[in-house]
Amino acid sequence: MYYIYAIVSEVDQRIYVGFTTDVQKRLKEHNSGKTTSTKGYRPWNILVVEEVTNREEARKREKYLKSGIGKEDLK
| pLDDT tens digits for range 45-69 | 999 999 999 999 999 999 999 999 9
Which pLDDT does position 33 carry in this prediction? 96
> Which H or E run includes 21?
none
Task: Please report, for residues 15, 27, 35, 36, 69, the alpha-carbon distance to residue 75 in angstroms, rounded to integers and kept in the order given.
Answer: 9, 19, 23, 23, 10
Q: Where are the domains of the chain?
A: 2-74
Q: What is the DSSP letter of 39?
A: G
What length is written for the chain?
75
| pLDDT tens digits for range 1-40 | 999 999 999 999 999 999 999 999 999 999 999 999 999 9
Longest dimension (CA), the chain: 33
Which residues lie below 8 Å from residue 12, measured CB to CB, with a gap of 6+?
41
Which pLDDT does position 73 carry in this prediction? 92
The domain made up of 2-74 has a fold known as GIY-YIG endonuclease (3.40.1440)
- What's the pTM? 0.95
